[in-house]
């Protein structure tokens, strides 16, 4: 489902007032976090060129909060963006003079603004494009063509799509063996969650997320999936209030600590 | 006053003429006088328009033909003789031929028996012939394996027809997968992964 | 004598013009310049003929369109509202598909991951598939960056469908360009951010 701007507006208000009927709201209407940000900016008539990242970040986080509270399935990408915005917000609210990485917050704001404007641009031209007259609807080709043999190569028709589709069919038909890929074990988020909880318990210093990933995984895909699962699991733990996460700049390691929460 | 009226009429005539012309052009079969009349609601005007169109197109490469009270544009017979008009209805390439072509494209140079191996069925004689006739494949070098089998590869005409610059610009397996053209790629989610839970 | 020669030329011009006109008119799909050239063997003459036809048809119900380097007659969009021909009602494309098409059109050639970067969301299976099936996109040359990713671009069929002569006629493309929004290289999140092993 997709919300109109007004519906969204109402939702935002409702989330603030916290006296609402449960709505069957989902994030399905949005094509990812940037799209959601754009939508929020539009709802609050925020001019993208004079973007207040702080305001927008607050709204995004509020919205995310609301969605999570309402038990709406929030995809990892929304959480990742949420994490970044939370980081950004803290940077903007508490500028730390001693922190050399403050620049990265500005860079990020700038990039974010660019991405939003670019996606907005795409959405605008997309409308322009599909508002054009279209063949077969507004203008027409010859309805009853006569066929000359311009060069008699074209007595058969086959498109590139037909061709690669045919090849795709052969591959899927024959490659029952491809299913050997099935042997790759992906590291599940549940496993990562259990593992992280065990390892982080009682640790009161900041530790690199990468150090929590099992070192004995040989398979590259599995290693990657372990990384991804641990990251998602760490976000989950933040959400549940078990740990703190921080990353000082884009290139820096993601650190986590359970200092504040001694008992899990 | 009279002059103005005449001008308005001319504009209207020209506008309605365009509509009739476009209708006849876009119609998938000869369009009947009645259908045209329903568009115009003025038989006199329609008759005038049809006459005017017929005259205008009479000396062109395409003529307006009236057949049993239906109307259609047809190539002038003067030209059609010269152009060898053949009523070829383009037909889709057979599945065998399409598959064979795709295998040659992705695996070239490839021998006949290798093609059969991939498709899992033997290649009927006509299949390669059709592709050869279309000019999309050509013989490559012979293999230096016993029997020196002939290999097949795609031609420049093939690249032209499919709008490719080079053969390596064909989407690869990953691209096919990502485009959703390989249906079975739920692979990573199947039995073992699931049974782990 | 001179007069006679001129007359012969005129007759030849008119005859060849009819041939070109008939060839383009008869076909429902655009015909390439090269195919036309093969019929005439005189590029200058062909260019003159095409120009002459374009002008002659510009105020008619049917216009000669140049789409990239191909030619087709299409009903004039001026009278689109009055045609009401059995329209094939196209299945509406998903928002993901329309946005992806626009990104490919305005940013072409573009790789899959660049598309994902612009939309800030991964491309779901089947999105490119739909566009490919419509024949609106086609693979471009592979990038010479690591991994040689495939690029995508729009086809002539795309231009034809939206009544565009060439890519630079896309609506709003200059605004995007001037605003610096056609820059594909600004990336926030990419794979490397996470996989700093």
Looking at residue B126, its pLDDT comes to: 86
Is C78 in Cβ contact with B18 (below 8 Å)? yes
Residue given tokens 């030619």 in the structure block? C71
Looking at residue A22, its pLDDT comes to: 32
CATH topology of domain C2-83: Arc Repressor Mutant, subunit A (1.10.10)
This prediction's pTM: 0.70
pLDDT of B193 over the 50 cut: no
pLDDT of A144 over the 50 cut: yes
Summarize the confidence of residues A131-153 as an average pLDDT. 74
User: Identical fold at C2-83 and C95-196?
Assistant: yes
pLDDT of A55 over the 80 cut: yes
pLDDT of C187 over the 80 cut: no
Of the partner residues A134, A142, A210, the one whose CB lies closest to the CB of residue C27: A142
State how far residue C179 is from chain B, nearest Cα, in angstroms. Answer: 31
Q: Which residue has the higher pLDDT, A177 or A9?
A: A9
Residue C76: list chain B partners with CB under 8 A: 18, 22
The pair of three-digit structure tokens given for residue B144, joined into one six-digit string: 């230096």
Q: What are C16-74's pLDDT values in tens digits?
A: 999 999 989 988 889 989 888 988 888 999 999 999 999 999 999 999 999 998 999 99
Q: Which chains touch C (3 or more CB pairs under 8 A)?
A: A, B
Best of B11, B19, B165, B174 to disrupt the C interface (most C CBs within 10 Å) is B19
State how far residue C102 is from chain A, nearest Cα, in angstroms. Answer: 5
Residue of B nearest to C131 (CA): B179
Cα–Cα dist A24/A16, whole Å: 17
Of the partner residues C90, C181, C196, the one whose CB lies closest to the CB of residue A121: C181
Of the partner residues B21, B25, B83, the one whose CB lies closest to the CB of residue C19: B83
State how far residue C39 is from chain A, nearest Cα, in angstroms. Answer: 8
Strand partners, B151: B111
C-alpha A59: how far from its chain's center? Answer: 17
Pairs across A and B, CB distance < 8 A: 131
Looking at residue C109, its pLDDT comes to: 93
Pairs across B and C, CB distance < 8 A: 97
Residue C153: band (very low, low, confident or very high) from pLDDT cuts 50, 70, 90: very high
Residue C161: list chain A partners with CB under 8 A: 134-136
Residue of C nearest to B161 (CA): C32
The pair of three-digit structure tokens given for residue A15, joined into one six-digit string: 């989330």
Is C194 in Cβ contact with A228 (below 8 Å)? yes
Q: Are the C-beta atoms of residues C56 and C37 closer than 8 Å to each other?
A: no
| Distances C107 to A88, A243, C151, C181 between C-alpha atoms, Å | 30, 42, 11, 10
C-alpha A116: how far from its chain's center? Answer: 14
| ipTM of model | 0.76
C-alpha A104: how far from its chain's center? Answer: 20
Residue C77: what are its φ and ψ, rounded to 5°?
-75, -10
The pair of three-digit structure tokens given for residue A200, joined into one six-digit string: 């982080």
Residue C98: list chain A partners with CB under 8 A: 126, 129-130
pLDDT of A83 over the 90 cut: no
pLDDT of A183 over the 80 cut: no
Q: What are A89-113's pLDDT values in tens digits?
A: 887 777 665 555 556 677 778 888 8
Is B182 in Cβ contact with A172 (below 8 Å)? yes
State how far residue A150 is from chain B, nearest Cα, in angstroms. Answer: 8
Looking at residue A20, its pLDDT comes to: 33
Q: What are B146-175's pLDDT values in tens digits?
A: 889 999 999 988 988 888 888 988 988 788
Of the partner residues A146, A165, A178, the one whose CB lies closest to the CB of residue B187: A178
Residue C24: what are its φ and ψ, rounded to 5°?
-70, -40
Is A227 in Cβ contact with C194 (below 8 Å)? yes
The rounded mean pLDDT for chain C is 85
Q: Is C123 on the interface with B (CB under 8 A)?
A: yes
Q: For the stretch B102-139, what's the b/e string if a residue is b when 16 or more beta carbons lie within 10 angstroms of its beta carbon?
A: bbbbbbebbbbebbeebbeeebeeebbebbeebebbbe
Report domain extents, chain B: 2-83, 95-196
Looking at residue B63, its pLDDT comes to: 92
Is C23 in Cβ contact with A140 (below 8 Å)? no
State how far residue C97 is from chain B, nearest Cα, in angstroms. Answer: 12
Is B170 in Cβ contact with C19 (below 8 Å)? no
The angle subtended at Cα B51 by Cα B49 and Cα B54, nearest 5°, is 110
Is B168 in Cβ contact with C142 (below 8 Å)? yes
Cα–Cα dist C111/C116, whole Å: 9
Q: What is the DSSP string of C78-123?
A: GGGGGT------PPPPPHHHHHHHHHHHHH-SEEHHHHHHHHTSPP
State how far residue B15 is from chain C, nearest Cα, in angstroms. Answer: 8
Q: Are the C-beta atoms of residues B22 and C79 closer than 8 Å to each other?
A: yes
Residue of A nearest to C29 (CA): A141
Is A162 in Cβ contact with B88 (below 8 Å)? no
Residue A205: band (very low, low, confident or very high) from pLDDT cuts 50, 70, 90: confident
Compute the CA torsion angle B10, B13, B15, B17 (nearest 10 deg): -140
Q: Are the C-beta atoms of residues C65 and C71 closer than 8 Å to each other?
A: yes
Cα–Cα dist A168/B178, whole Å: 11
Of the partner residues A126, A139, A224, the one whose CB lies closest to the CB of residue C163: A139
Closest residue by Cα to residue A13 from A66, A55, A84, A54: A66
State how far residue A215 is from chain B, nearest Cα, in angstroms. Answer: 20
Alpha helices (H) in A94-213, listed in sequence order? 102-130, 160-174, 189-200
Residue C131: band (very low, low, confident or very high) from pLDDT cuts 50, 70, 90: very high
Strands B137-142 and B70-75: unpaired
Cα–Cα dist B88/B80, whole Å: 14
Q: What order of strands is seen across the sheet that includes strand B150-154?
A: B110-111, B150-154, B137-142
Is C189 in Cβ contact with A136 (below 8 Å)? no
Looking at residue B21, its pLDDT comes to: 94
CATH of domain B95-196: 1.10.10.10
Summarize the confidence of residues C182-186 as an average pLDDT. 69
Instruction: Quote the DSSP letter at residue B121.
Output: S
Q: Which of residues 108-147 of A touch B (CB under 8 A)?
A: 140-144, 146-147
Q: Are the C-beta atoms of residues B103 and B151 closer than 8 Å to each other?
A: no
Is C23 in Cβ contact with B179 (below 8 Å)? no
Residue C140: list chain B partners with CB under 8 A: 165, 169
Is A168 in Cβ contact with B197 (below 8 Å)? no
Q: Are the C-beta atoms of residues B100 and B128 closer than 8 Å to each other?
A: yes
State how far residue A122 is from chain C, nearest Cα, in angstroms. Answer: 6
Residue A84: band (very low, low, confident or very high) from pLDDT cuts 50, 70, 90: confident
SS3 A18: coil
Instruction: Quote the DSSP letter at residue C147.
Output: T
């Amino acid at each position: 489902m997709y919300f109109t701007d007004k519906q969204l507006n109402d939702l935002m208000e409702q989330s603030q007032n916290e006296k609402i009927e449960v709505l069957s709201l989902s994030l399905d209407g949005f094509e990812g976090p940037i799209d959601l940000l754009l939508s929020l900016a539009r709802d609050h008539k925020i001019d993208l060129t004079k973007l207040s990242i702080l305001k927008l970040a607050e709204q995004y986080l509020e919205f995310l909060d609301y969605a999570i509270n309402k038990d709406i399935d929030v995809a990892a990408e929304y959480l990742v963006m949420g994490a970044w915005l939370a980081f950004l917000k803290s940077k903007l609210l508490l500028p730390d003079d001693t922190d050399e990485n403050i620049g990265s917050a500005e860079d990020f704001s700038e990039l974010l603004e660019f991405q939003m404007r670019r996606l907005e641009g795409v959405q605008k031209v997309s409308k322009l494009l599909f508002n054009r007259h279209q063949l077969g609807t507004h203008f027409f080709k010859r309805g009853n063509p006569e066929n000359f043999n311009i060069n008699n190569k074209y007595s058969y028709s086959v498109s590139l799509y037909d061709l690669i589709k045919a090849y795709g069919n052969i591959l899927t038909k024959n490659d029952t063996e491809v299913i050997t890929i099935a042997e790759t074990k992906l590291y599940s988020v549940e496993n990562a969650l259990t593992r992280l909880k065990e390892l982080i318990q009682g640790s009161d210093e900041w530790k690199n997320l990468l150090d929590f990933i099992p070192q004995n995984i040989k398979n590259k895909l599995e290693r990657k999936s372990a990384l991804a699962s641990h990251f998602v699991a760490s976000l989950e733990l933040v959400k549940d209030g078990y740990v703190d996460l921080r990353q000082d700049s884009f290139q820096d390691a993601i650190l986590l600590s359970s200092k504040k929460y001694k008992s899990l | 006053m009279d002059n103005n009226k005449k001008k308005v009429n001319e504009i209207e005539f020209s506008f309605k003429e365009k509509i009739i012309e476009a209708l006849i052009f876009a119609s998938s079969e000869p369009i009947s006088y009645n259908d045209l009349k329903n568009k115009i609601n003025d038989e006199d005007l329609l008759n005038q328009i049809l006459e005017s169109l017929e005259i205008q197109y009479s000396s062109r490469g395409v003529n307006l033909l009236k057949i049993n009270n239906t109307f259609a544009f047809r190539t002038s017979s003067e030209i059609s003789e010269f152009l060898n008009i053949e009523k070829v209805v383009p037909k889709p390439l057979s599945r065998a031929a399409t598959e064979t072509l795709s295998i040659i494209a992705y695996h070239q140079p490839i021998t006949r028996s290798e093609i059969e191996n991939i498709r899992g069925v033997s290649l009927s004689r006509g299949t390669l012939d059709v592709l050869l006739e279309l000019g999309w494949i050509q013989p490559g070098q012979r293999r230096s394996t016993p029997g020196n089998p002939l290999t097949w590869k795609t031609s420049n005409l093939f690249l032209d027809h499919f709008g490719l610059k080079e053969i390596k610009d064909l989407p690869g397996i990953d691209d096919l997968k990502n485009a959703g053209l390989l249906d079975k790629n739920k692979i990573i989610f199947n039995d073992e992964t699931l049974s782990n839970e």
